[in-house]
Each structure stands twice: as structure tokens, then as C-alpha cells.
Structure 1
Amino acid sequence: MDLGNADSWGDMIYFWIVPIVMGDAIFPPVPSEMVVITGGALSADGRANVALVVLLAALASWLGDILVFQLFKRRLSHVLDRWKWGRTFHLAVHRATAQAGRSSTYGAIIGIRFIPGGRLGTTAAAGIANVSTRGFSLCAALGGLLWAIWSVGLGYFTGAATKLPFWASSLIGVGLGLAIGAVVGVLVTRRRGTRSPVVDGPEEELDF
């Protein structure tokens, strides 16, 4: 594959989005933002379908979040409870999430994904804290869709505005995303709510 050839990228971008975005949920260094923004840049160049890129990115983001959430909710949290330090950490996650409040907790699930590396921590914490599966799924779906639109839009509008090669537009879009997304993510996670989706015990679940 010729990495500098837009036609080659346009043929493969659909196959790369799902595994890379899902992989980013587990291993943050995976460059999901770069791939999705590149999809947007290719769309601006007429080499990809912008709606399909958004749909695949949003779906992959949701699937990855659900996978990590269920792993921590059903397995890893119980493994932690076998040791004293694990129980202490488990309880600390509950307290921290409860203090943040309902709006902040669900807002973090939606917004923290805009900060590279923040997605895994928030998803794991939600699973360990036994956040409602339905509530998490809805927030992860909304957050994934917003993130996909934002990322694809960065690549698309950067490409359309600069008329540079798609790889240059992608790099500019990634830079803008890192700067603006970090600010948005921090603002979202600092919001305070009045009620918490986390209950006193790790075996009970609250719903919306």
C-alpha cells in the first residue's frame, strides 16, 4: 500500500476504523483520532463517504466502551475484591464517583473521550463503580457519536479549507483536536451534579 496515495487510503479506511477505534478503548496509544480524522480528510477530497466514516467510528467507539465496561463490571472488579488493596481501591472509586455527582459522572462518560487516554480510565471506573448498564450504554453511544462527528468534522473541514494533501490536513486536524478537545473534556468533567448514579455497595445497581 502506498501511504502517500489518497486512493489507497480511501479503499482501506473503512476496514481500519472499527478495529483501531475499538482497540483505543483498551490501549489508548492506538491512534484512533488520527484514523478517524484522516477519514474526514479523505471525505473532503472525495475519496471516502463522510456519513459512513462517522457511523463506523461511532459504532466502534460504543462497542469498545461496552467491552471495557463489562470486563470491569463483571470480572476485574471482583478480582480486585480478593485483596485488601483491591477493596480499598474499589471503595475509593465508588466514593470519588459519588462525590462527583450524577451530572458529572455521566457527563464524564460522554466528554472525557475528547481527551486522549481519558476514555479507558472513565470506562473502567464506571464499570468498577457499578454504574447502570443502560445509563452507561446510552452515554457511551451519545459520546461516541459526538466524538465521531467532531473528529470526522475536523478532518473534513481542515481538508476543505486548506486544500492540502489529505495527510497534511489530518495532522492539522489532530493538532486542533488535541488542543480544543482537552479544554472541552476538562470543562465537562469539572461540572457538578446533585445526585450520583453510584450506590453504597458494589453489588447494587442504580438506573436512570
Structure 2
Amino acid sequence: MDFISPDSWGSAIYLWIVPVVLGDAIFPPVPSEMVVITGGALAADGHANFWLILFLAAFASWLGDMAVYLLFKRRISHVLDRWSWGRKTHLAIHEAIAKAGRSSTYGAIIGARFIPAGRLATSAASGIANVSIRGFSLCAGLGAILWAVWQVGLGYFAGSATKLPFWASSLIGVAVGLLIGVVVGLIATRRRGSASPVDEPFDGDLPQPE
């Protein structure tokens, strides 16, 4: 695959979006924003279908949120503790909840995905707090659509406005999105105050597998 050729990326981007955005639901460092924004930049160049990119991004975001929510709602998160990587992931989830603070409001379910680690923390906390599955599903779906429109739109706008190669437009879109996300995160953290505890305490000492 030629990593500079838009034709190569245009045919591969559809295969990357779903697994990467799904992975980001549990492990926030996964670069889902970069992949989705790149899809928008490719659409601006005419090398990808804008609406298909939008649909895949929104669907994968909703599916990932539901997976995390159900994992914690059914209290089966201990399954992660069977493996070393799972224990690290479990710890990271609780750290994300502690940083973001617990909130089971529908507004938080929709909007928290726009701040770093907010999507993971809110989905997990909603499952722990037993938010209704219908309410969470609807809000997660709306949030996923808004997130996808924002991310794909960043790439598309950067590509259309700058007329730069798709990879340069993608980097510009990622930088703008990251900057705005950090600012929103700082504002939200200050307004939230101290983080609230969750019902599933975690002290960092996960059980070792037998």
C-alpha cells in the first residue's frame, strides 16, 4: 500500500474505520479521530464517499459505546482481569472515570465523547449506574452521529479549504479537533469540580488469574 497515494487510502479507509473506532471505545489512545478525519479529507478530494464514511464512523461509535455500557451494566468487567492486558485496560477505565467524574445524565452521554477519555468514562459509569438501556442507546446514537459529523466535517472542511494533499488536511483537522477537545475538557473539568466516586470501587490491585 502506498501511504501517500489517495487512491490506496480511498479503498482502505472503509476497512479501518469500524475496528479503530470500536477499539477507541475501550482504549482511548487508539487514533480513531485521525482515521475518521482522514476519511473526511479523502472525501473532499473525491477519493471516498462522504456519506459512507459518516455512517461507518457513527455506527462504530455507537456500537463501541454499547459494548462498554453492557460490559459494566452486566458486571462482567471482571472478565478483563483474566489477562495482563485486560487488567491494564480495566485500570485505565477506572482512571478515566475518576478523571472525568461520574455522570449518568443523558446530556453527558451525548456530549462527553467530545473531551479526552469522556466517551469511555461516561459509557462505563452509565452501565455501573444502571441507566436504562433504551435511554443510553438513544443518547449514544445521537452522540455518535454528532461526533461523526464533527470529525468527518473537520477533515472535509480542511481538505476543501486548503486544497492540500489529503494527509496534510488530515493533520490540520486532527490538530484543530485536539485543540478544541482539550479546551472543552479543561472547561468541563473545572465546572465539574472533584470527581465523584463510582459504585464499582477499584484500588488498582486487580486479582491475578489462576
TM-score by length of 2: 0.76
Q: Contact conserved, 1:77 with 1:128, CA < 8 A, in 2?
A: no
State the SS of the aligned residue for 1:170: helix
Q: Hey, what does 1:47 align to over in structure 2? A: 47
Check 1:50–1:15 CA distance in 2 against 1; reply closer, same or farther (3 A cut).
Answer: same
Do the aligned partners of 2:116 and 2:185 also contact (CA within 8 Å) in 1? no
Tell me how many residue pairs correspond in the alignment: 176
Contact 1:107 1:189 in 2 (8 A): no
Instruction: Tell me which residue corresponds to 1:162.
Output: 162
Q: Quote the offset at 1:181 in angstroms.
A: 2.8
Query: In the alignment, what sits opposite 1:20?
Result: 20
In the TM superposition, 1:195-206 aligns within 5 A as: none
Distance in 2 (CA, whole Å) between partners of 1:74 and 1:191 is: 31
Q: Which residue of 2 aligns with 1:74?
A: 74
Q: Is the 8 A contact 1:17 1:32 kept in 2?
A: yes
Q: In structure 1, give the amino acid aligned to 2:15.
A: F
| 1:41 and 1:158 in contact (8 A); partners too | yes
**2:74 match: secondary structure:** helix
Alignment correspondent of 2:129? 129
| Offset of residue 75 of structure 1 | 2.2
Q: In 1, Cα distance between the equivalents of 2:110 and 2:189? A: 9
- Indicate how the Cα distance of structure 1 residues 190 and 136 shifts in structure 2: closer, same or farther if over 3 A, else same: farther
Give the aligned partner of residue 117 of structure 2: 117
**What secondary structure sits across from 1:75 in the alignment?**
coil
Does the 8 Å contact 2:42/2:48 carry over to 1? Answer: yes
Correspondence 1:11 to 2:11: yes
Q: In the TM superposition, what whole-angstrom CA distance separates every residue of 1:63-102 from its partner, at most 9, and x where no partner exists? A: 00001100000024789xxxxxxxxx9xx99xx75xx6x7
What is the CA deviation profile of residues 93-120 of structure 1, one whole-angstrom value per residue up to 9, with x for unaligned ones? Answer: 9xx75xx6x7xx2111111111232211
Superposed CA RMSD: 2.6
Return the alpha-carbon distance in structure 2 between the equivalents of residues 40 and 131 of structure 1: 33
Deviates more, 1:133-142 or 1:175-184: 175-184
Tell me how far 1:35 sits from its aligned partner. Answer: 0.3
* Structure 2: tracts of 5 or more residues without a match: 80-93, 193-198, 201-210
Opposite residue 166 of structure 1, the aligned amino acid is F
Q: Is the alpha carbon distance of 1:114 and 1:73 closer, same or farther for their aligned partners in structure 2, counting shifts above 3 Å?
A: same
